[in-house]
Amino acid sequence: MTKRALKRLVREGEFDATQFSDDGKVRRLPLDRGWSPSGTSHGHGAGPEREQGYLKTIKAKSVGQARLIEAIEQKNLVLALGPAGTGKTYLAIAKAVEALEAGTCGRIVLSRPAVEAGESIGFLPGEMEDKLAPYLRPLYDALSDRLSMKRVRALMAEGLIEIAPVGFMRGRTLNNAFVVIDEAQNCTYVQLKMLLTRLGWSSTMVITGDPNQSDLLPGVSGLADVAEKLEQVSGVSVVRLAEVDIVRHPLVASMLGVL
């Protein structure tokens, strides 16, 4: 509507300009509301301060998870054994991101065995990295839950986050790094021995897995044997989680109890 047409409507009485003289139709925010964008609560009924950062605060949801977090903070080598849904991988990667952000480690190295769980992906098109992507996807998911994907890609481009299959770890020495070996139940005894000897100076290594959920042939997985022997070594912590530590859907614990 043009300015001339608006003046004509006002002159002819078809448009009431006084309707905007007060703010009766404008909704005002209450001055004593209980939330402030600065994170400080004011007013009556104010709740606890809100976490404004992207990173969520890590809180143990069970006694077993509390023992795992404490072990990661105090030991250089931790083995986390337990059924699916106990938060083994999530807590390990969360502590790795926390260490990287705090500057207590120089990089994060995530590794996972490329073992097929009944499927065959050799026919998929693409290079080796494309074929390995499905195996490494759970690590990306855990990382993206702690950091934005944009930041994950930036850190990977800088070499501060590395994700590689177990086969690519031979011959390396990982100094000043936070190393997470996921799905270790799919590693043989020889592979686990190789991975354990990759630990370098000023580094922390967390190995996670469920000895009862191996995709290898019976008796081939070496995780249970390695954990039993390392329990006698000082400086190494073996944390065994149980069904009571499962934090997924309650049906997961119920199903694992009967399957």
Pick the CATH number of 63-258 from 3.40.50.720, 3.40.50.11540, 3.40.50.300, 3.30.420.40: 3.40.50.300
Percent of the chain at pLDDT > 90 equals 44
What is the per-residue pLDDT across 165-204, written as a single tens digit (0 to 9) for each? 888 888 899 999 999 999 999 999 999 999 999 999 999 9
Asked whether the predicted pLDDT for residue 75 surpasses 70, the reply is yes
Q: What pTM does this model have?
A: 0.72
Q: What pLDDT is stored for residue 161 in this prediction?
A: 93
Question: What does the domain layout of the chain look like in residue ranges?
Answer: 1-52, 63-258
The better pLDDT of the pair 228, 50 is held by: 228
Tell me the pLDDT of the chain averaged across its residues.
Answer: 80
What is the per-residue pLDDT across 233-252, written as a single tens digit (0 to 9) for each? 988 999 999 988 888 777 87
One-letter amino acid of 246? I
Helix H segments across the chain? Answer: 3-11, 63-74, 88-102, 128-146, 149-158, 189-196, 223-230, 250-258
The pair of structure tokens assigned to 160 is 């501060």
Q: How far apart are CA 98 and CA 239, in angstroms?
A: 20
- Of 138, 120, 143, give the one whose Cα is nearest residue 54: 143
Whether residue 201 contacts residue 73, with contact meaning beta carbons closer than 8 Å, is answered with: no
